[in-house]
């Protein structure tokens, strides 16, 4: 008996699935903490050169007038005059020097940050962004390493190892004696944040009827978007945690220790039946499925459980088995139409990730209160996800995502000419852009999963998520351009990427209400042969039906071993 056939008896989204889905969603909260926590851990307060021992920051001190140069309508942050005592009056400017005695920092908002403890300012400013990028690099590495190891040793052991590692590394990071140690531990926190979440999602998706290919069309939008609300809760709550604690070691401890509660998942969340079956542990898999049926108040037919469970209902040596074995990441770009769709959606993924993290980190410089700005940045995601759930099944994935990216791009472009004095106006308009990019970023996972055919759906979504890390890793350094080139340049880059990616989305087929492609052949035919105007209008259904009908008709008179070769020959044309 095929494993997926038994899942159908459990129902689309029963009580058991909802229970595990909720427990998995909770993990999005600490994932948000560690992904975005460096906004406060590595925040850069106002500062200027220290001129004498014991000096404290005072923005209106007469001493500042005598010790700090005033250039280009602002006080210098990296130079001072050659005076070594407090001065109330000064007759001349003096000789300009570098900050040879360190800096004094404004403590209005931050008691301490990694920047103030390790003096990551002026010539060392780029290192401040390094710590942010390393967390995101760690997320990229963690998703790959933990996923692979989970296939070998099991989902639950890797999950528990990741939680223990997350707590221990987080506690250790709060006592970092130097910046290199701080960076190394931030990287490891990124590894664990992503790794734990990925493994948990794997457990939830392969046990239950919530994976994209197993959920009915009416449930796809809910299953794809609901988890984002929990990420937003984590987003907003870290602003409150940082506001209350103010010092980066305390913040690091506060966002690391609570993860220890997830060790209880050893008893609360079962192992993946699919993984157990792959290891020949069929009786254990049957027990989990029987428990799921009991909670869902359904009864699995005795004959199903008495039969020998198999992962796939194909015979070794058959054409379907050969096709499944051949499916790999190469199939994402092997044929022209699939290659175009893959590269298009991956570019949208990179753009969304870049703008999302860029605006999240940028809140440090928006508005008059960094904690309030960051909280608002997380809060605007809630209406974004509500809009997604209201519109996705009415207007379609492509139109909603296109609209979000266009409006978001326009909002960011509108922020550019606003004077610095109107920082709250800039914040309000930028948050419109943040709302829109949050909505489109949530949709891209669902949209991509529906675009890829079943044999390469997992690898397609996995590679897309992996490529998105490129955009997120680059975002802190794009923000650094504000200090090096122009304050407006980051917004120009973010708005431009959002605009271009949105326009290109119009060339992709709509997936709302369509049958998900089950084979590589069907995946290639979705949207193939459409004119530019048909693509913009979203006319894909008829062409898909016609193409698949032709494919089915030709398959009836074709030898199984020649079917794939004929398909490759037929699709060997430019898009």
Q: In this structure, are 406 and 513 located in the same domain? A: yes
- Distance of CA 281 to CAs 3, 7, 158, 274, 362, Å? 13, 18, 18, 10, 50
Most confident of the ranges 198-207, 324-333, 472-481, 559-568: 472-481
Q: Is the pLDDT of residue 434 over 90?
A: yes
Q: In this structure, are 20 and 90 located in the same domain? A: no
Q: Is the pLDDT of residue 242 over 50?
A: yes
Q: In this structure, are 365 and 347 located in the same domain? A: yes
Q: In this structure, are 344 and 456 located in the same domain? A: yes
Q: In this structure, are 234 and 145 located in the same domain? A: yes
Q: In this structure, are 417 and 378 located in the same domain? A: yes
Return the bridge partners of 71, or none. Answer: 74
Report pLDDT for 497.
95
Q: In this structure, are 371 and 254 located in the same domain? A: no
Q: Residues near 239 by Cβ (< 8 Å), separated by ≥ 6? A: 40, 371, 372, 374, 375, 378
Report pLDDT for 317.
38
Q: In this structure, are 32 and 83 located in the same domain? A: no
Residue range(s) defining the domain that contains residue 66: 48-104
Q: In this structure, are 81 and 177 located in the same domain? A: no
Helix or strand run (H / E) with residue 105 = strand 103-105
Among 313, 332, 361, the domain boundary falls at 313
Q: What tens digit of pLDDT does each residue of 118-142 get?
A: 999 988 888 888 888 899 898 888 8
Average pLDDT of the residues in 158-171: 90
Query: Measured between alpha carbons, how far is 435 from 403 in angstroms, rounded to an integer?
Result: 12
Q: In this structure, are 495 and 563 located in the same domain? A: yes
Higher local confidence (pLDDT), 294 or 258: 258
Q: What is the pTM of this model?
A: 0.80
Q: What tens digit of pLDDT does each residue of 41-72 get?
A: 999 899 998 888 888 888 777 778 778 888 77
Q: What tens digit of pLDDT does each residue of 325-383 get?
A: 456 778 778 888 888 888 999 999 999 999 999 999 888 777 778 999 999 999 999 99
Q: Is 12 helix (H, G, I), strand (E, B) or coil?
A: coil
In three-state form (DSSP H/G/I as H, E/B as E, the rest C), the secondary structure along 453-480 is CHHHHHHHHHHHHHHHHHHHHHHHHHHH
Q: In this structure, are 18 and 74 located in the same domain? A: no
Report pLDDT for 182.
94
Contact 500, 351 (CB under 8 A): yes
Q: What tens digit of pLDDT does each residue of 540-574 get?
A: 544 445 544 444 444 444 444 443 343 333 333 33
Q: In this structure, are 357 and 399 located in the same domain? A: yes
Report pLDDT for 498.
95
| CATH label of the domain that carries residue 234 | 1.20.1250.20
Would you place residue 203 in the very low, low, confident or very high pLDDT band (cuts 50, 70, 90)?
Answer: low
Among 271, 289, 313, the domain boundary falls at 313
DSSP 270-293: PPPHHHHHHTT-HHHHHHHHHHHH
Among 257, 280, 313, the domain boundary falls at 313
**Number of domains into which the chain is organized:** 3
* Number of CB atoms found within 10 A of residue 230's CB: 18
């Amino acid at each position: 008996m095929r494993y997926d056939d038994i899942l159908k008896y459990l129902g689309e989204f029963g009580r058991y699935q909802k229970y595990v889905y909720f427990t998995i969603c909770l993990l999005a909260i600490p994932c948000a903490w560690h992904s975005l926590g460096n906004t406060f851990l590595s925040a850069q307060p106002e500062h200027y050169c220290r001129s004498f021992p014991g000096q404290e920051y005072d923005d209106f001190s007469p001493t500042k007038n005598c010790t700090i140069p005033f250039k280009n309508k602002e006080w210098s942050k990296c130079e001072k005059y050659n005076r070594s005592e407090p001065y109330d009056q000064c007759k001349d400017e003096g000789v300009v020097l570098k900050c040879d005695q360190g800096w004094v920092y404004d403590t209005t908002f931050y008691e301490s940050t990694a920047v103030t403890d390790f003096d990551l300012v002026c010539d060392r400013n780029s290192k401040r962004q390094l710590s942010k990028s390393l967390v995101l690099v760690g997320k990229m590495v963690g998703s790959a390493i933990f996923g692979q190891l989970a296939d070998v040793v099991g989902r639950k052991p890797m999950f528990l190892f990741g939680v223990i590692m997350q707590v221990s590394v987080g506690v250790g990071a709060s006592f970092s004696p130097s910046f290199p140690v701080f960076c190394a531990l931030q990287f490891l926190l990124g590894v664990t944040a992503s790794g734990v979440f990925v493994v948990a999602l794997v457990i939830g998706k392969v046990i239950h009827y919530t994976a994209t290919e197993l959920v009915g069309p009416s449930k796809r939008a809910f299953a794809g978007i609901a988890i984002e609300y929990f990420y937003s809760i984590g987003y907003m709550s870290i602003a409150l945690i940082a506001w209350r604690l103010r010092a980066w070691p305390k913040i690091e401890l506060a966002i690391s220790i609570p993860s220890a509660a997830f060790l209880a998942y050893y008893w609360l969340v079962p192992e993946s039946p699919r993984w157990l079956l792959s290891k020949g542990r069929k009786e254990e898999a049957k027990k989990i499925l029987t428990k799921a049926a009991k909670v869902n108040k359904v009864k699995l037919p005795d004959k199903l459980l008495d039969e020998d469970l198999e992962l796939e209902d194909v015979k070794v040596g058959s054409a379907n088995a050969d096709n499944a074995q051949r499916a790999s990441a190469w199939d994402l770009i092997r044929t022209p139409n699939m290659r175009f769709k893959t590269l298009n959606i991956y570019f949208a993924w990179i753009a969304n990730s870049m703008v999302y993290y860029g605006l999240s980190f940028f809140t440090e410089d928006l508005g008059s209160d960094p904690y309030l700005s960051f909280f608002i940045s997380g809060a605007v995601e809630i209406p974004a996800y509500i809009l997604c759930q209201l519109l996705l099944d009415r207007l379609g994935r492509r139109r909603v995502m296109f609209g979000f990216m266009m409006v978001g791009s326009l909002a960011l472009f509108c922020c550019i000419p606003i004077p610095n004095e109107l920082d709250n106006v800039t914040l309000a308009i930028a948050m419109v852009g943040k709302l829109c990019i949050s909505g489109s970023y949530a949709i891209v996972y669902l949209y991509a999963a529906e675009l890829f055919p079943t044999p390469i759906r997992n690898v397609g979504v996995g590679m897309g998520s992996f490529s998105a890390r490129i955009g997120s890793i680059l975002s802190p350094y794009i923000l650094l351009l504000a200090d090096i080139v122009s304050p407006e340049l980051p917004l120009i880059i973010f708005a431009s990427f959002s605009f271009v990616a949105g326009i290109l989305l119009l060339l992709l087929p709509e997936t709302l209400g369509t049958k998900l492609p089950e084979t590589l052949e069907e995946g290639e035919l979705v949207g193939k042969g459409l004119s530019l105007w048909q693509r913009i209008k979203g006319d894909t259904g008829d062409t898909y039906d016609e193409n698949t009908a032709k494919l089915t008709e030709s398959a009836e008179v074709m030898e199984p071993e020649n079917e794939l070769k004929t398909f490759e020959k037929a699709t060997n044309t430019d898009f």
